[in-house]
């Protein structure tokens, strides 16, 4: 059981996946001190992944995305402050590390004895001629999604700028709704930052088979409009793509402004250690706003934008704030459902030097297993949940699948798992 020296308790800035998990974990660890969870959005914390999938497709309503029933917060002793953006935060120099005061745009003053930043990220925006025309959308929050869905229903021609996860998920929904869809990706392949070329090629062919036009190495130079609304997208090669709706899905920028005000180290995210401590060890941060040591190899820093990471890191941050040891880190995992193409990723493939394709990509059921120096790092599984589970289980146990055996689809992957290897780097 843990309490606080005075008044404020824990202040968690950012009321979403990581912030809510942090608050819940504090309670689960026996913390009885006050918890204030402050968020800029007017809504209670909700799930973002369905915004580009079930909600956009009309299969889920917004209210169903809330993480908790309305009475939960009061019952758990979590003071949920909604619709308030924290504009300033400072630590007091009174000998109580981590204590201080935050101020909101609405003029509220929030004192705290412990501070956590779970402020996420904001969509990267294009600053090109016509970027502010109506019908040019981004997708990060619930209000973005409601706006995008209403525009999508009315649109005939949709252009998606960016062939990453959110862009392709949106393109798949738009196409399934019968829209004419073009994806413009600046890189020479789709999902280039996340998957091997063989998986990029698969998604290119699969989306084209479904009637989506995909332009690679395409450079958007501006937008055409009439009466304040977008009518087209201009490309560097002179192409003009007619459009009634444009989704810009070109990545997200971590929100480091409060961390910078506190003088915390930031490097394309708030820098934290494996225990979610910032450069001021009394202040923690978790989720999309952070960069952290690679969670499985410890080599280099990564910024992970996933539900699993937000939950795992927030759980660690709660223990750290209470001075308790953090439990073992789970193997990272991720999913992206692009229409009927269900991608599941176990582990992190960053730094792979070899990969093995298991199954035929043209069957739309296959996996790619990634290795570094012969050690299994990760797998991308498309419509192959059993492969995904086998690799996730293997990585959790420090086991492996020998590269020479991985392509054998006559044997279930879980039967090919061997180990644990004695030289395995177990998740910490």
Ligand X SMILES: Cc1cc2nc3c(=O)[nH]c(=O)nc-3n(C[C@H](O)[C@H](O)[C@H](O)COP(=O)(O)OP(=O)(O)OC[C@H]3O[C@@H](n4cnc5c(N)ncnc54)[C@H](O)[C@@H]3O)c2cc1C
166 binds ligand X (CB under 6 A): yes
Binding ligand X (rule: CB under 6 A), the pick from 18, 173, 215, 259 is: 18
State in angstroms the smallest separation of the CB of 259 from ligand X: 10
Tell me, residue by residue from 272 to 291, as one string, x for binding to ligand X by CB under 6 A and - for no binding: ---------------xx---
331 binds ligand X (CB under 6 A): no
Binding ligand X (rule: CB under 6 A), the pick from 4, 10, 118, 400 is: 118
C-alpha 292/C-alpha 66 separation (Å) is: 28
CB nearer ligand X, residue 18 or residue 379: 18
C-alpha 399/C-alpha 140 separation (Å) is: 37
Q: Which of residues 340-399 bind ligand X (CB under 6 A)?
A: none
Task: Kindly report the number of other CB atoms within 10 A of residue 360's CB atom.
Answer: 10
78 binds ligand X (CB under 6 A): no
Helix (H) or strand (E) holding 204: helix 197-209
State in angstroms the smallest separation of the CB of 144 from ligand X: 8
119 binds ligand X (CB under 6 A): yes
Tokens at residue 260, please?
């910078």
Do 427 and 332 form a contact (C-beta atoms < 8 A)? no
Residue 95, SS3 per DSSP: coil
Order across the sheet with 290-293: list the strands: 270-271, 290-293, 301-302
Binding ligand X (rule: CB under 6 A), the pick from 11, 24, 86, 316 is: 86
State in angstroms the smallest separation of the CB of 407 from ligand X: 27
- The footprint of ligand X on this chain (CB under 6 A) covers a number of residues equal to 36
Do 166 and 144 form a contact (C-beta atoms < 8 A)? no
135 binds ligand X (CB under 6 A): no
Q: Which residues, in sequence order, are CB contacts of 39 under 8 Å at separation 6+?
A: 14, 15, 16, 19, 45, 80, 81, 82, 83, 84
Do 273 and 282 form a contact (C-beta atoms < 8 A)? no
Q: Which stretch binds ligand X (CB under 6 A): 32-40, 176-184, 189-197, 225-233?
A: 32-40
C-alpha 188/C-alpha 206 separation (Å) is: 16
Q: Which stretch binds ligand X (CB under 6 A): 34-42, 187-195, 357-365, 406-414?
A: 34-42
C-alpha 87/C-alpha 208 separation (Å) is: 45
67 binds ligand X (CB under 6 A): no
Burial grade of 384 (CB within 10 A; 0-12, 13-18, 19 or more): buried
Tell me, residue by residue from 223 to 262, as one string, x for binding to ligand X by CB under 6 A and - for no binding: --------------------------------x--x----
Binding ligand X (rule: CB under 6 A), the pick from 16, 99, 278, 292 is: 16
* Phi, psi for residue 117 in degrees, rounded to 5: -105, 120
142 binds ligand X (CB under 6 A): no
CB nearer ligand X, residue 86 or residue 376: 86
CB nearer ligand X, residue 35 or residue 406: 35
State in angstroms the smallest separation of the CB of 221 from ligand X: 26
Tokens at residue 111, please?
């004192």
CA distances 280 to 91, 95, 109, 114, 306, Å, are: 10, 14, 22, 12, 25
State in angstroms the smallest separation of the CB of 308 from ligand X: 6
CB nearer ligand X, residue 70 or residue 404: 70
182 binds ligand X (CB under 6 A): no
82 binds ligand X (CB under 6 A): no
Do 32 and 149 form a contact (C-beta atoms < 8 A)? no
List residues near ligand X by CB under 6 A: 13-19, 38-41, 48-49, 51-52, 85-86, 118-121, 139-140, 166, 255, 258, 287-288, 305-308, 310, 334-336
């Amino acid at each position: 059981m843990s309490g606080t020296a005075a008044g404020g308790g824990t202040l968690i800035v950012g009321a979403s996946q990581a912030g809510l998990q942090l608050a819940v974990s504090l309670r689960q660890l026996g913390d009885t001190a006050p918890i204030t969870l402050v968020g800029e959005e007017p809504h209670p914390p909700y799930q973002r992944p369905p915004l580009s999938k079930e909600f956009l497709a009309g299969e889920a309503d917004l209210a169903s995305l809330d993480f908790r029933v309305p009475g939960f917060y009061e019952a758990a002793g979590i003071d949920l402050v909604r619709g308030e953006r924290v504009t300033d935060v400072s630590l007091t120099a009174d000998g109580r590390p981590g204590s201080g005061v935050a101020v909101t745009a609405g003029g509220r003053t929030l004192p705290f004895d412990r501070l956590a930043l779970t402020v996420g990220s904001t969509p990267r925006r294009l600053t090109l001629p016509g970027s502010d025309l109506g019908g040019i959308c981004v997708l990060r929050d619930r209000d973005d999604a409601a706006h995008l869905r209403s525009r999508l229903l009315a649109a005939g021609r949709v252009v998606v700028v960016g062939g990453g996860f959110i862009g392709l998920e949106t393109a798949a929904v738009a196409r399934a709704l019968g829209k004419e869809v073009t994806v413009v990706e600046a890189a020479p392949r789709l999902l280039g930052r996340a998957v091997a070329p063989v998986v990029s090629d698969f998604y290119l062919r699969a989306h084209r088979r479904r009637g989506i036009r995909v332009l690679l190495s395409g450079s958007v130079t501006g937008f055409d409009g009439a009466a304040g609304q977008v009518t087209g997208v201009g490309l560097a090669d002179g192409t003009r793509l007619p459009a009634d709706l444009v989704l810009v899905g070109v990545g997200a920028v971590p929100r480091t402004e409060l961390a910078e005000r506190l003088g915390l180290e930031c490097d394309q995210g708030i820098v934290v250690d494996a225990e979610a401590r910032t450069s001021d060890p009394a202040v923690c941060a978790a989720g999309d706003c952070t960069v952290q040591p690679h969670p499985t190899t410890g080599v280099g820093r990564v910024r992970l934008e996933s539900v699993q990471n937000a939950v795992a890191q927030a759980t660690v941050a709660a223990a750290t704030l209470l001075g308790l040891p953090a439990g073992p880190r789970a193997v990272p995992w991720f999913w992206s459902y692009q229409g009927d193409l269900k991608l599941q990723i176990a582990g992190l493939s960053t730094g792979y030097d070899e990969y093995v394709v298991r199954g035929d990509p043209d069957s739309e059921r296959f996996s790619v297993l990634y290795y570094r120096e012969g050690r299994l790092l990760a797998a991308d599984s498309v419509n192959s949940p059993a492969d995904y589970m086998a690799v996730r289980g293997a990585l959790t146990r420090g086991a492996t699948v020998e590269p020479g055996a991985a392509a054998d689809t006559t044997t279930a992957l879980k039967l090919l798992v061997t180990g644990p290897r004695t030289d395995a780097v177990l998740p910490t």
